[in-house]
């Protein structure tokens, strides 16, 4: 028997929330909108949606609005929200999951710089076991096409020996690569 349209919509709404819960391991459905997470978020003034609003939109199955929001890329993963949540919801982990889902679904966002930076940072850490700043900036500039911002800071950084053009590897680089591989394997299982 075909289900009424309204039930089909509700099932689709639930599917998005259940997927976020399964992949993040966070009980998003337990959020009761106390706003403790967003009131303690240091980046809330720069976000288009507060973290508590992201939670509510997930409840409502507003997948497009959530995955297109700049908030998920503005989030600095500081975990202040996670620490403050009375329901033990790992809000920072949810933001991580939403970023992964946005990349997987090739969601178009207006400002490509945050996801480009995120990708360049993780690539650099995976290759070197730590951040190799010059290499990371080259990757970021190519991906974002943002070639000239902050360029005036480069001479000062070179002078103060803050920017090396030779890659440097962490002694734990191999172990870090194993962590990335393991994380990818775990992600596939979810
Ligand atoms: S982890 Fe992200 S959302 Fe949570 S408090 Fe920090 S910046 Fe805000
Ligand atoms: S602190 Fe927790 S329960 Fe309160 S709004 Fe944020 S996620 Fe929801």
Q: What is the pLDDT of residues 134-171, one digit of tens each?
A: 899 889 988 888 888 888 888 888 888 888 888 889 99
pLDDT digits (tens, 9 = 90+) for 40-89: 999 999 999 999 999 999 999 999 999 999 999 999 999 999 999 999 99
Contact between 37 and 56 under an 8 Å Cβ cutoff? The reply is no
Atom of ligand 2 at shortest distance to CA of 84? 1
CA distances for 122 relative to 118, 140, 149, 177, angstroms: 6, 11, 21, 11
**Ligand 1 site, residue 69, Cβ cutoff 6 A:** no
Ligand 2 centre and the CA of 50: distance in Å? Answer: 11
pLDDT at 34: 97
The span from the CA of 137 to the CA of 157, in Å, is 13
pLDDT at 93: 96
Return the residue matching tokens 């992600």. Answer: 187
Q: Does the pLDDT at position 5 exceed 60?
A: no
Ligand 1 centre and the CA of 30: distance in Å? Answer: 18
**Ligand 2 site, residue 35, Cβ cutoff 6 A:** yes
Task: Kindly report the protein residue whose alpha carbon is nearest to atom 2 of ligand 1.
Answer: 75
Burial class of residue 7 in the structure, from the number of CB atoms within 10 Å of its CB (0-12 exposed, 13-18 middle, 19+ buried): exposed
CA distances for 44 relative to 37, 40, 41, 63, angstroms: 10, 8, 5, 21
pLDDT at 73: 92
Among 63, 96, 104, smallest CA distance to 188 is for 104
Domains, the chain, in order of start with CATH, read: 5-104 (1.10.1060), 113-189 (no CATH)
Q: Does the pLDDT at position 11 exceed 80?
A: no
Q: Does the pLDDT at position 6 exceed 60?
A: no
Rounded mean pLDDT, 117-146: 90
């Amino acid at each position: 028997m075909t289900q009424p349209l309204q039930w089909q919509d509700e099932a689709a709404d639930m599917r998005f929330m259940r997927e976020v819960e399964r992949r993040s391991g966070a009980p998003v459905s337990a959020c009761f909108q106390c706003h403790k997470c967003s009131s303690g978020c240091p980046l809330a003034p720069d976000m288009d949606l507060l973290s508590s609003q992201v939670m509510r939109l997930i409840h409502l199955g507003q997948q497009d609005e959530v995955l297109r929001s700049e908030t998920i890329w503005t989030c600095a993963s500081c975990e202040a929200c996670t620490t403050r949540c009375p329901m033990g919801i790992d809000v920072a982990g949810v933001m991580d999951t939403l970023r992964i889902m946005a990349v997987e679904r090739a969601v178009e966002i207006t400002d490509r710089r945050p996801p480009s930076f995120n990708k360049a940072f993780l690539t650099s850490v995976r290759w070197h076991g730590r951040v190799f700043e010059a290499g990371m900036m080259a990757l970021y500039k190519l991906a974002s096409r943002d070639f000239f911002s902050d360029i005036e800071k480069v001479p000062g950084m070179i002078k103060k020996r803050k920017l090396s053009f030779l890659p440097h590897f962490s002694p734990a680089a191999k172990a870090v690569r194993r962590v990335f591989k393991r994380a990818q394997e775990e992600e596939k299982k979810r």
